[in-house]
Amino acid sequence: MTRLTRFTRTTAFKLSLLYVGVFTVMSGFLVVYVAENTDHLMSEQVVQSVDSELKGLADVYVRGGVRDLVETIDRRSRHPDASLYLLTDFAGNALVGNIARLPTVVLEEADGGLRRVRYTRLGQNTEDIERQAMVRTFELRGGFRLLVGRDLGDQLKFSNLLANALRLWLVVIVLMGAITWFFVNSRVMKRIDDISATSRTIMHGDLTGRLSVAGNNDEFDRLAINLNTMLERIELLMQSMKDVTDNIAHDLKTPLTRLQTRIEIALRDAKGEEGYRDALEATLDETDHLLRIFNALLRIARIESMAPGTVMEPTDLNKMVAEIAELYEPLVEDEGGRLETEVPAGLYAECNKDLISQVLVNLTENALKYGRPIEGDLVIRMSARLEDDRVQLSVSDNGAGIPEKDQDRVKERFVRLEESRSEPGTGLGLSLVKAVARLHGGELRFKNETPGLSARIDLKPAEPDGSGSGNGQDGKTGEKRS
């Protein structure tokens, strides 16, 4: 692409060209309209004055004869801005008048109507200058011919003025076009170029790049801010994808390697059927573990890809928590702990019962595994309450808690704090809780209590039968679908 074509292809150039074009056409139209109308008006005036003068002079001739006519013409033509007069006899000799030269044909056509002629004026120092006039010839009795006309100098001057104005106007328009181009090019296009340059570097793999924000909150700033937010999200997703890959490499490779080793050892060393049976049973345990990890991963991916608001229904939290507590109470007691619940009766939330049950199960199992206090008995408390128009569902323990710096990290897939690596588990429990919380329009939050840790998610409250808030809910679901 040559420099010129690149230049003519810019939006700034096209915009300026369009601007100049439109304004030229519009102002041309305006000037032509004004010129036509004034010309028409002025011609009308000339016709009227020429005709009335002719009539007056004809009267003078009828009343006073040729002598009076000559005198009147002579007197009138001495005025500085006098009309044009010429009186000739039957032979065509000029008797009186202020015209020095005139095309002869004009006088021969008596009453040929008004016509435009070029002439030279008599008795002025501009005798050589040809001027234009509208004249009319009239034949008097006795073979005299009378010519009366008006000089068109004023009218022509006006036309010149308009033409000059148009020319000046065109210059102004082109200049303004150039200014527009300059402004658009330097301010607007430059920022668009900036954005595309930055996005090119980002496309080449540098996800840390961000678009510059000028700070004047115009469209470009808003665009840049939105794109930056998008980039942050993408960077986060890429990072977590990398983490997942790393963690899969570690957490899935480990059991796979163990599996392989066991099979190899069994093939090499196992003695008799009993040995093979033991090896196969151990292998089965390992594949069970692997399958559990895969299922959990698939489940999380599935939940993360669901649209918020799907498969939700008003759910009695009191009943749900009581059921989970009933399932887990014996287990907690066997571990020497206590399970408490605190949910007000009639508290309903818009949620997926199965997923939220699983959330409670995961959080409870986490509390069981990691929430044990150094001294005294483990107390796990499941509670739900209405707070700031959201239902807060939480599971807390009285253990050591999670250090602040790790609270976000533990929600990631496969992340297990060093202390918990020895415990059985997939490291996916909290990732699932996080995904479910997001599906329900909330977040998983941790808070270190004294003592212990409370993990909570927030849900949208609902009316028991769903009819009380029916309209609002329908509206919401509609929005979400669109």
Partner 1 sequence: MLRILVIEDDPEAASYLVKGLTELGHTADQAADGQTGLQMSLDSDYDILIVDRMLPRLDGLSVIQQLRDEGNHTPVLILSALGQVDDRVKGLKAGGDDYLPKPYAFTELQARVEALARRPKSASQVETTYTVGDLTLDRMAHSCRRGETEIPLQPREFRLLEYLMQNAGQVVTRTMLLENVWEYHFDPQTNVIDVHISRLRGKIDKGFATPLLHTIRGAGYTIRDAAH
In SS3 terms, 152-197 reads as CHHHHHHHHHHHHHHHHHHHHHHHHHHHHHHHHHHHHHHHHHHHHH
**Minimum gap (Å) between residue 411 Cβ and partner 1:** 17
211 CB neighbour count, 10 Å cutoff: 20
Whose Cβ is closer to partner 1: residue 429's or residue 442's? 429
Work out which of 59, 326, 449, 474 binds partner 1, going by CB under 8 A: 326
Relative to beta strand 378-387, strand 390-396 is antiparallel
Q: Closest approach of Cβ 400 to partner 1, in Å?
A: 20
If binding is defined by CB under 8 A, does position 138 make contact with partner 1?
A: no
Stretch that binds partner 1, among 126-134, 158-166, 170-178, 325-333 (CB under 8 A): 325-333
For residue 431, the minimal CB distance to partner 1 (Å) is 13
β-partners of residue 456 are 394, 445
Task: Indicate whether 256 belongs to the interface with partner 1 (CB under 8 A).
Answer: no
Residue 292 three-state SS: helix
Among 177, 309, 429, 442, binds partner 1 (CB under 8 A): 429
In our burial notation (b when 16+ CB lie closer than 10 A, e otherwise), range 332-360 reads: beeeebebebebeeebbbbbbbebbbbbb
Among 281, 313, 449, 474, binds partner 1 (CB under 8 A): 281
Cα gap 199→444, rounded to integer Å? 33
Residue selected from 209, 425, 451, 461 as contacting partner 1 according to rule CB under 8 A: 425
Phi, psi of 408 (to 5 degrees): -80, -35
Q: What are 88's two structure tokens?
A: 């000739």
Stretch that binds partner 1, among 117-125, 182-190, 202-210, 329-337 (CB under 8 A): 329-337
What's the closest the beta carbon of residue 333 comes to partner 1, in angstroms?
8
Rounded to the nearest whole angstrom, what is the least distance from the CB of residue 237 to partner 1 in the complex?
23
Size of the site for partner 1 (CB under 8 A): 25
- CB-nearer residue toward partner 1: 101 or 292: 292
Q: Which range touches partner 1 (CB under 8 A), out of 209-217, 320-328, 337-345, 466-474?
A: 320-328
Q: Round to whole Å and give the CA distance between 389 and 387.
A: 6
Q: Map tokens 């209590």 to a residue.
A: 449
Distance, in Å, from the CA atom of 339 to the CA atom of 377, rounded to the nearest integer, reads: 11
323 binding partner 1? (CB under 8 A) = yes
Q: How many residues does the chain have?
A: 482
* Burial of residue 119 (number of CB atoms within 10 Å: 0-12, 13-18, 19+): buried
Q: Is 243 in the site for partner 1 (CB under 8 A)?
A: no
Using CB under 8 A as the binding rule, the residues of this chain from 364 to 383 that contact partner 1 are 365, 368
Q: How far is the CB of 6 from partner 1 (least distance, A)?
A: 55
Residue 405 burial class via C-beta count within 10 angstroms: exposed 0-12, middle 13-18, buried 19 and up: exposed
Question: Rule CB under 8 A: is residue 44 a binding residue for partner 1?
Answer: no
Per CB under 8 A, does 304 bind partner 1?
no
Piece of the chain touching partner 1 by CB under 8 A; list 238-246, 326-334, 384-392, 459-467: 326-334
Contact between 336 and partner 1 (CB under 8 A)? no
Strand partners, 387: 390
Q: Which is nearer to partner 1, 108 or 288 (CB)?
A: 288
Q: Determine contact, residues 56/76, Cβ cutoff 8 Å.
A: no
Q: How far is the CB of 444 from partner 1 (least distance, A)?
A: 17
Query: Nearest approach, Cβ of 369 to partner 1 (angstroms)?
Result: 8
No. of H helices and E strands in the chain? Answer: 12, 13
Q: Which is nearer to partner 1, 88 or 352 (CB)?
A: 352
Residue 160 in contact with residue 148, Cβ under 8 Å? no
Q: What whole-number distance in Å separates Cα of residue 352 and Cα of residue 315?
A: 8
According to CB under 8 A, which one of 41, 284, 386, 417 is a site residue for partner 1? 284
Please give the residues from 338 up to 367 whose contact with partner 1 meets the rule CB under 8 A. Answer: 354, 357-358, 361, 365
Residues lying near partner 1 in the complex (CB under 8 A): 281, 284, 291-292, 295, 299, 302, 311, 323, 326-328, 330-331, 334, 354, 357-358, 361, 365, 368, 424-426, 429
